[in-house]
Amino acid sequence: MSLFKGKNITVEIYGESHSEKIGVNVTGFPEFKMNYEKLFSFLERRRPSSGVFSTKRKESDVPEFFGVKDGEISGDFSAEIKNSDTRSVDYSNLYGKPRPSHADYAWHKRDGTLDFSGGGRFSGRLTAPLCVAGGIAKQYLETLGIQVEGYVSSVGKIFSKSYKDGKISAEEILKNREGDFPSLDKKEEMLSLIKDTFLAGDSVGGKVECIIFGLKAGIGDNLFGGLEGKISSLVYAVPAVKGVEFGDGFKLSESLGSTANDELYYDDDGNICFYSNRSGGINGGISNGNDITLSVAFRPTPSIRLKQRTVDLVNGCNTEIEIKGRHDACIVPRAVPCVESAVALAVLDEILNNKK
Ligand SMILES: Cc1cc2nc3c(=O)[nH]c(=O)nc-3n(C[C@H](O)[C@H](O)[C@H](O)COP(=O)(O)O)c2cc1C
């Protein structure tokens, strides 16, 4: 069980990759009627695609809701998803042999486990219930005019067009999501790199860029109450996330103040605007009214078919493993709704706190 205890909502995710079911319990959600169809198509974006490079594990991911009637939510609700396509046999040769850079060894040190089947509670499968809660939070935010949208901005060293090249609208992201790959361009190149990597028995990482459109200025607080910290702490809940940056992020450390600052002006209607958005829409931990932009780095999928060195914890010796289970060669496309979910839940919790 993993618990996010926000200022206003709590989100508790339970279950394991190969347990009978996984699920989520949410408390403190505002009164709201969700759209099931919209939620199901959101969840569909997280499911493995049928491509040769994606995990062959097939789950329907249809949640059963408790505390929700005809889509009506009033405070607390739960959702459960059955695991039907588990295959622990794929892991029989891995007993006591941690997969390099998966959670296995750290998990063993924490809980003493030697059976790493399916990755247990550290599996990417647990992002299904995260997306149930996050998908509903995203819908609620839309009723307030706030839109959270992401796309794949890079796979390996192939970089697509991104917000950093110039402002992008939510409509443009949605339009480009249609089809078989959720990036703004370079889709064919990205797909072909993933396919080649899969065929080589390897995996590749990449980045998801996520934009929060329509969040008014003044949300967040200083120091420990900062919006960047709040958002990134939830984004880091998504397995395989290894970096989060806002705006121009690390690149700002190479800039001068004169080229890094976002200068302000009044437009013809008297609204305060910015000439640029290098800070990513947050200053002093508080939203400044600009779009909030974050870039999230995903490591390559740890489970690869290529032979790797590891240890045999049962016999206390060095060994090698070849992983036969079903794994994505690149999890980045499926991770887009996971990032959107984490961001939406963080923003929702802050919005409820700041609702005036
Ligand atoms: C949607 C999604 C699917 C994932 N699928 C796999 C997978 O098939 N095989 C694998 O080794 N890791 C997969 N991962 C990543 C691991 O769960 C993750 O790398 C592992 O728990 C270690 O955590 P860390 O990389 O954050 O340190 C997936 C992650 C996500 C978000």
CA–centroid distance, residue 31 to ligand 1 (Å): 34
Q: Tell me if 299 CB under 6 Å of ligand 1.
A: yes
d(CA 207, CA 104) in angstroms, rounded, equals 24
Taking each helix axis from N to C end, the angle separating 332-354 and 127-143, rounded to the nearest 10 degrees, works out to 50
Q: Residue 64 above 90 pLDDT?
A: yes
Q: What is the pLDDT of residue 88?
A: 64
178, with CB counted inside 10 A (0-12, 13-18, 19+), is exposed
Q: Residue 140 above 60 pLDDT?
A: yes
pLDDT range class, residue 50, cuts 50, 70, 90: very low
Q: What is the pLDDT of residue 301?
A: 97
Q: Are 89 and 51 in contact (CB under 8 A)?
A: no
CA–centroid distance, residue 302 to ligand 1 (Å): 7
d(CA 295, CA 97) in angstroms, rounded, equals 33
Weakest-pLDDT range from 78-87, 137-146, 197-206, 207-216: 78-87
Q: What is the pLDDT of residue 89?
A: 64
pLDDT range class, residue 356, cuts 50, 70, 90: very low
Q: Residue 56 above 80 pLDDT?
A: no
Q: Which atom of ligand 1 is nearest to the CA of 328?
A: 8
Q: Which two tokens stand for residue 166?
A: 């110039």
d(CA 240, CA 340) in angstroms, rounded, equals 15
Percent of the chain with pLDDT over 70: 95
Mean pLDDT of the region 265-271? 97
Mean pLDDT of the region 205-230? 98
Mean pLDDT of the region 65-88? 91
E-state strands within the chain: 2-5, 10-14, 21-33, 64-69, 72-82, 147-155, 158-159, 206-213, 241-246, 264-266, 272-274, 282-283, 286-287, 292-298, 308-312, 317-321
Q: Tell me if 295 CB under 6 Å of ligand 1.
A: no
Q: Which two tokens stand for residue 15?
A: 């279950």
Mean pLDDT of the region 329-344? 98
pLDDT range class, residue 55, cuts 50, 70, 90: low
d(CA 266, CA 257) in angstroms, rounded, equals 22
CA–centroid distance, residue 184 to ligand 1 (Å): 24
Q: Residue 326 above 90 pLDDT?
A: no
Report the C-alpha dihedral over residues 68, 63, 213, 259, rounded to 10 degrees: 140
Q: Residue 172: which CATH number?
A: 3.60.150.10
Mean pLDDT estimate for the chain: 94
d(CA 49, CA 69) in angstroms, rounded, equals 31
- CA-based end-to-end distance of the chain: 33
Q: Tell me if 331 CB under 6 Å of ligand 1.
A: yes
Tokens 């970096």 sit on residue: 243
Q: Tell me if 240 CB under 6 Å of ligand 1.
A: yes
Which DSSP string corresponds to 114-140? ---GGGGGGSGGGHHHHHHHHHHHHHH
Mean pLDDT of the region 259-266? 98
Assessment of whether the complete model's pTM goes beyond 0.85: yes
Domain range for 262 is 2-354
Q: What is the pLDDT of residue 159?
A: 98
Ligand 1, atom 30: closest residue by C-alpha: 124
d(CA 5, CA 346) in angstroms, rounded, equals 11
What is the tally of structural domains in the chain? 1
CA–centroid distance, residue 312 to ligand 1 (Å): 22
Q: Are 344 and 134 in contact (CB under 8 A)?
A: yes
d(CA 310, CA 325) in angstroms, rounded, equals 17
Q: What is the pLDDT of residue 54?
A: 67
Q: Which of 301, 326, 334 to mutate to test the pocket of ligand 1 (most atoms within 8 A of CB)?
A: 301
Weakest-pLDDT range from 3-17, 76-90, 262-276: 76-90
Q: Are 294 and 235 in contact (CB under 8 A)?
A: yes
d(CA 203, CA 101) in angstroms, rounded, equals 12
Weakest-pLDDT range from 45-59, 73-87, 151-165: 45-59
Q: Residue 313 above 70 pLDDT?
A: yes
CA–centroid distance, residue 125 to ligand 1 (Å): 8
Q: Tell me if 120 CB under 6 Å of ligand 1.
A: no
Q: Dmax of the chain from CA atoms?
A: 74
CA–centroid distance, residue 341 to ligand 1 (Å): 16
Q: Tell me if 54 CB under 6 Å of ligand 1.
A: no
Count Cβ atoms below 10 Å from residue 81 Cβ, excluding itself. 22
C-alpha 51 chain-centroid distance: 21
Q: What is the pLDDT of residue 92?
A: 81
Q: Tell me if 122 CB under 6 Å of ligand 1.
A: yes
